[in-house]
Structure 1
Amino acid sequence: MLVNGGRLQDEVVRRSHQAAVPVLGSSANLTGTGTKFRVADIQQPILDAVDLVINYGLRKYHLYGRSSTIIDFTTMEVVRIGTCYELISDIMATQFGITLPADLGRDVLPSGHLREQASAGAVDRTGAGAS
């Protein structure tokens, strides 16, 4: 899995590995309430349930208004179109010859979750063309 979390994440992972203690976390939002881009936007039930909140500032690509891009690399299936998808698509095509499906845009696919649209038969998640 590709995760670009920066120096803070790298240090947390290093310390976790060194101590042989797993670090677990979830999204900082209640189901169905959308991505939270600032600590101030996190709902109180989430804050009440956690041991630690680190305010690392506004995330770098918050202007896209989408969550992270998720690709299942075992099947090369795009699960969710998200932040920097056009950049990821370009790298996959130019560096690896892999064509990912087009982003239909937030008007058509507000959540970015292709599985929601695929169940309706509207989206090819592999980029291989309609079946």
Structure 2
Amino acid sequence: MLVNGGEFQEELSKLATNAELPLLGSSANLTGTGTKVAVEDIQPEIRAAADIIVDYGRQKYSHPRPSSTMINFNELRVLRFGACYEVIQDAFSRFYGLSLPNDPGRDILFSGHLRQDCDSN
């Protein structure tokens, strides 16, 4: 699920914020098969399970990094540095007083995924 703006996103975000719940969605891929950035890249069995597919084409931040930042909220630990990570890092700091690590960059961590044994602090 990717909702990248508009009235639907605004209302969904407002409801999640008012309920003090994080908002997340499926990555539209089979576990371990990598991030998909275009509808045609999504496995047929995933597309077949969807009730609706809206294809807006490639987005500004779809390449070369993963489409989303992943955070383990139980441990408050970054799992993947994704698009617009710096915006998320800034929001955590300004609104919640929480410090997230700096993105090491594509040259150091091409996929954005931290290994399980890496310390993200």
TM-score band (shorter)?
0.5 to 0.7
Once residues 95 and 10 of structure 1 are traced to their aligned partners in structure 2, the CA distance between those partners, rounded to angstroms, is 20
- Equivalent residue, structure 1, for 2:4: 5
Once residues 11 and 52 of structure 1 are traced to their aligned partners in structure 2, the CA distance between those partners, rounded to angstroms, is 20
Q: CA RMSD in A?
A: 3.4
Which ranges in structure 2 are unaligned for 5 or more consecutive residues?
14-24
Structure 1 contact 64–83 (Cα < 8 Å) conserved: no
Task: Give the secondary-structure state (helix, strand or coil) at the position aligned to 1:71.
Answer: strand
- Equivalent residue, structure 2, for 1:47: 47
Bigger helix share: 1
Which ranges in structure 1 are unaligned for 5 or more consecutive residues?
15-24
1:72-128, Cα deviation, whole Å (9 max, x unpaired): 4554322221111233334444665543223223354343233x2x42xxx322x3x
Task: Give the secondary-structure state (helix, strand or coil) at the position aligned to 2:88.
Answer: helix
Task: Give the secondary-structure state (helix, strand or coil) at the position aligned to 1:63.
Answer: coil
Residue pairs, 1:22-101, within 5 angstroms: 26-73=26-73, 75-93=75-93, 97-101=97-101
Amino acid at match of 1:5: N
Structure 1 contact 101–124 (Cα < 8 Å) conserved: no
- Equivalent residue, structure 2, for 1:124: 119
- Equivalent residue, structure 2, for 1:112: 112
The percent of aligned pairs where both chains have the same amino acid is 47
Tell me the TM-score normalized by structure 2.
0.62
Tell me the TM-score normalized by structure 1.
0.59
Count matched residues. Answer: 110
| Structure label with greater radius of gyration | 1
